Amino acid sequence: MTSIEKSVVAKLEKEGKKFEILVDLENAIKFKQGRNIDIDKVVVTNDIFSDVKKGEHAANLKSFFNTENKLEIAKIIILEGEIQLTTEYKNKLREEKRKQIVSIIHRNGIDPKTNLPHPPLRIESAMEEAKVKIEEFKSAEEQAERVLEKIRVIIPIKFLVKEIALNIPAKYAGMIYTPVKKLSKILKEEWENNGNLILVVEIPGGIEQELYDELNKIMKGELEAKVLNTR
């Protein structure tokens, strides 16, 4: 159990009254996200406060929560209220978002001069050089376009989506779905009279070659691919 010294405050205001509890930060976040975690592992004490710092306990709990069960009240405070985040935790969130953004840009972006993806380390370096600010409470997807615009002044890059036709010999047809579905979206599927499988897939430009490499491991170089559309 987290010690009181390392706990944070979760708080909720109802009808002008404040209710605060002490919680383990990581477990409280997981609980709020709907993860399966016991409330006993979330709360540090069973006390319900009106002001944690002053040590003042809340009164008339039943009139506000329709129960006097403090664990049930704690659940309501966590789910409906706010959890105090430490600077360390905010930094952790930002680092996680940064890695996700780098991955999105690497998968979707290419160097228009070479038509190849930039290595993740090059993208990270460009983000640092451009002094990109990562927002911990916005999704990586929301921030990727803004980050892309920032780093364009550092490295040539653009987002690209391709539609590609894949001609799969019959003997490999049952073996290729896992890598294809992992890396791309299947738009069309057609079986030819000779048993060959034709797939039209949509794939981010940055991982086109990765798809070819994965399929050629299975097909021993027999893959035929044709780019149908680029946008």
Q: Report the C-alpha gap between 20 and 52 in whole angstroms.
A: 6
Whether residue 33 is predicted with pLDDT greater than 80 in this model: the reply is yes
Q: What is the pLDDT of residues 170-180, one digit of tens each?
A: 999 999 999 99
Whole-number pLDDT of residue 3: 74
Using an 8 Å Cβ cutoff, are 9 and 47 in contact? no
Answer positive or negative: Cα dihedral of 128, 131, 137, 141. negative
What percent of the chain stands above pLDDT 90? 95
Going along the chain from its start, the domains and CATH numbers come out as 4-83 (3.30.1250.10), 87-159 (1.10.10.900), 161-230 (3.30.70.240)
Q: Would the pLDDT of 2 be above 90?
A: no
Instruction: Give me 103's structure tokens.
Output: 């991955």
Q: For residues 166 and 215, is the Cβ–Cβ distance under 8 A?
A: yes
Residue 165 has pLDDT above 70, yes or no: yes
201: left (phi over 0), alpha (psi -120 to 50) or beta: beta
For residue 35, give Cα distances in angstroms to 28, 32, 38, 188, 196. Answer: 10, 7, 9, 37, 45
Give the per-residue pLDDT at 137.
84
pTM: 0.76
3-state SS, residue 187? strand
User: Which pLDDT value is given to residue 153?
Assistant: 96
pLDDT of residue 30: 92
For residues 155-179, give the mean pLDDT.
96
Please say if the pLDDT value at position 1 is more than 70.
no
Q: Is the pLDDT of residue 120 over 80?
A: yes
* Each residue's pLDDT tens digit, 69-79: 999 999 999 99
